[in-house]
Amino acid sequence: MTTAKTGAEHIRSLQDGRTVYIDGKLVADVTAHPAFRNSVRSAAALYDFQARPENIEAMTFSPDGANRRVNRCWQLPRDHAEMVARRKAMQTWASLHCGFMGRSPDHVASTLVGQRIGIEVFEKHGSARAKALRDYFEEASRNDYFLTYVIINPQAERAKDWGDQAEGLVAKIVDEDTGGITVRGAKLLGTSSIMANEVFVANLQPLKPGEEDLAFSCAVPMNSKGLRVLSRKSYEASAVSVFDNPLSSRFDENDALMYFEDVKVPWERIFVHRDTDMCRAQFHDTPSHAFQNYQAQIRLSVKLKFLCGLAHRITEAIGTSAMPPVREQLGFLAANVGMVHAMLAGMEADGTMRNGYWVPNRHQMYSAQVLTQDLYPRFVNIIRELAGGALIMLPSSVEDYADPHLAKIIRTTQRASKMEPDEKVKFLKAAWDAIGSEFGSRHTQYEMFYAGAKFVTSGHSFRTFDWGGATGMVDDLMSTYDLESELKRVQAGNGKA
Ligand SMILES: Cc1cc2nc3c(=O)[nH]c(=O)nc-3n(C[C@H](O)[C@H](O)[C@H](O)COP(=O)(O)OP(=O)(O)OC[C@H]3O[C@@H](n4cnc5c(N)ncnc54)[C@H](O)[C@@H]3O)c2cc1C
């Protein structure tokens, strides 16, 4: 048994009649459309990479009783060593897109790994729902599905509760019968949905009693009848060429509004049913939220290392790399890359056993999440500071080179001590694509918000910190002296202690 899912198989699986719209038109085939085809190929390349004989051992594993290997993201780690092997596979995958595909298949697989480990939480909710989760995990992992999720509601009127939003806005159960539930309304932001096989639908934001219609979770195939996918603008489609936009043209994983127009979901794919607290518990009482965001930090560790390399090359391109203040900035960036790597190692080393599986340390994960949410825009700003106008003073497109006269001017003006002019142009275009293009700017928004706004992520950190230990230290100090005895000493004329 040495085979694993390949890119060609993945591409075929996306030609399933899904209903995706862009620029007012229905997309006949996402794998061929100029807005999506390169990103689809980048996703497919992940599967081709894992299936290569030289990578198969590091990237995949054999689930018990399976007749095919699947990606390690589906592995429930039995100990620290398995967790580290799983992380290394994810880092290797992320390095194929320099960390720019935030919703690569390992993200939502990690969500489900956490839910599967905490299956007793679903058992408490109901044995049929637990069975549905168990069976779905089996199906998704054995088939190495690419899953995405929509677990957030449209912002609409943020000061109102979710149940009080306008009719037809937030996805909810509008009907149910012996076959299952019917869902109507919207969820966002469906990142990677265009190239995923299925979408996990849930509600992560707090619900209150009375909002049971909104309180469900389920998994639906992307070609489900009634599921409308409204893509945002495609950065891939507006990319000029691979030379001009090497990242936007290939790694635009896309985001999309998912509108459920009376989508029917069978009971065997419903994991939470009309239980507002269970919507929270599926993520937070299981290690699901910990696993999915641990994966996000794993991916980010690769992206930050890439950006750090980019910063260093920029200083070479403009000849500032030996200047002490520039080295100080580079040293600061490098220290933060080191911090994220060390925090990952900490989450793993300080993990705990649950139901026979090793789970990452939650508070250390939230610490990394809160810190990196601020760090990312800071990183981008420092790179801009290091670059000055170099990121802008570039030929309009590769086509300028086709005119020999213009090419000569470009080669005269794009000089650098450590790079040939053509190499410098090529590199600086990549740098701008990473941090300044519309694609790059979307990435800053992504890193700042993918896990929730600051008040949400800091709230997780607050909830999971060892306040007893921290305040206990303060209390211990307080217990070493008191006002009464100090006063007695002063009154006895003993002065300073
Ligand atoms: C590029 C991108 C991709 C995404 N992909 C996905 C995806 O694939 N699947 C998915 O489910 N979600 C996805 N999301 C959604 C993401 O999870 C949400 O953006 C995030 O949870 C924040 O929610 P929100 O956008 O509603 O912002 P809000 O929660 O409304 O926050 C916006 C701002 O409003 C203010 N604010 C709002 N409420 C409060 C409050 N109660 N107290 C204080 N301040 C408040 C704060 O200033 C806050 O920063 C994606 C988001 C982005 C940007």
Nearest CA among 249, 366, 379 for reference residue 305: 379
Mean pLDDT across the stretch 176-181? 97
Nearest CA to ligand 1 atom 29: 453
pLDDT for residue 67: 86
Please report the pLDDT score of residue 120 as a whole number: 98
Cα→Cα distances 161→26, 157, 165, 225, 335, Å: 33, 8, 7, 29, 42
> pLDDT value at position 252?
97
Mean local confidence (pLDDT), 68-94: 98
Q: What is the pLDDT of residues 388-423, one digit of tens each?
A: 999 999 999 999 999 999 999 999 999 888 899 999
Percent with pLDDT over 70 in the chain: 99
Give the Å distance between the CA of 448 and the centre of ligand 1: 9
What's the 152 CA to ligand 1 centre distance in angstroms?
Answer: 8
- For residue 96, what pLDDT band results from cuts at 50, 70 and 90? very high
Inter-axis angle of helices 362-387 and 288-317, nearest 10? 20
Burial of 192 (0-12, 13-18, 19+ CB in 10 A): buried
Nearest CA to ligand 1 atom 27: 453
Residue 164 has what pLDDT? 85
Å from CA of 369 to ligand 1 middle? 14
DSSP output for 15-44 = -S--EEEETTEE-S-TTTSTTTHHHHHHHH
Q: Of the candidates 439, 322, 446, 437, which has an alpha carbon nearest to the alpha carbon of residue 384? A: 437
**pLDDT per residue as tens digits for the range 425-468:** 999 999 999 999 999 999 999 999 999 999 999 999 999 999 99
Give the N- to C-terminal CA distance of the chain in Å, as an integer: 76
Confidence band for 495, pLDDT divided at 50, 70 and 90 = low
Would you state the pLDDT for residue 2? 64
Pocket of ligand 1 (CB under 6 A): 103, 148-152, 155, 158, 188-191, 255, 442, 445-446, 449-450, 452-455
The closest-lying atom of ligand 1 relative to the alpha carbon of residue 193 is 8
pLDDT tier at 66 (50, 70, 90 boundaries)? confident
* Candidate from 449, 454, 458 with most ligand 1 atoms within 8 A of CB, to mutate: 449
Q: How many CB atoms lie within 10 A of CB 395?
A: 18
Q: To test ligand 1's pocket by mutation, which of 188, 370, 374, 454 has the most ligand atoms within 8 angstroms of CB? A: 188
If you average pLDDT over residues 107-136, what whole number do you get? Answer: 98
Distance between CA atoms of residues 485 and 489, nearest Å: 6
Segment 140-149 shows an average pLDDT of 97
Å from CA of 349 to ligand 1 middle: 31
What tens digit of pLDDT does each residue of 323-361 get? 999 999 999 999 999 999 999 999 999 999 999 999 999
What does the pLDDT average to over 239-266?
97
Write down the pLDDT at residue 494.
72
| Cis status of the peptide bond prior to 230, with omega within 30 of 0 | no
Mean pLDDT, to the nearest integer, of 381-394? 95
Stated pTM of the model: 0.95
Strand partners, 231: 256
Q: Is the pLDDT of residue 50 over 60?
A: yes
Mean pLDDT of the chain: 96
Q: Ligand 1 centre and the CA of 496: distance in Å? A: 55
If one compares 155 and 229, the residue with the highest pLDDT of the two is: 229
Mean pLDDT in residue range 221-238: 97
* Secondary structure element (H or E) that encloses residue 359, with its range: strand 357-359
The pLDDT of 363-374, averaged and rounded, is 97
Strands 25-26 and 256-266 turn out to be unpaired
AA letter at 362 = R
- CA 452 – ligand 1 centroid, Å: 5
Would you say residue 1 has pLDDT above 60? no
**In the predicted model, what is the mean pLDDT of residues 12-18?**
97
**CA 88 and chain centroid, separation:** 16
User: What span, in angstroms and rounded, lies between the C-alpha atoms of 364 and 102?
Assistant: 20
**Closest atom of ligand 1 to CA, residue 443:** 1
Q: Rounded to the nearest 10 degrees, how much is the dihedral formed by the CA atoms of 14, 18, 24, 30?
A: 10
Q: Which atom of ligand 1 is nearest to the CA of 153?
A: 26
Two structure tokens written together for 228:
């409308």
User: Which pLDDT score, from 0 to 100, does residue 497 have?
Assistant: 65
Alpha carbon nearest to ligand 1 atom 30, residue:
155
Q: Which atom of ligand 1 is nearest to the CA of 148?
A: 8
Please say whether the beta carbons of 443 and 355 come within 8 A. no
Which residue's CA lies nearest to atom 12 of ligand 1? 189
- Count of C-beta atoms within a 10 Å radius of residue 171: 24
Task: Give the mean model confidence (pLDDT) for residues 149-157.
Answer: 91
- Tokens (6 digits) for 466: 């060892």
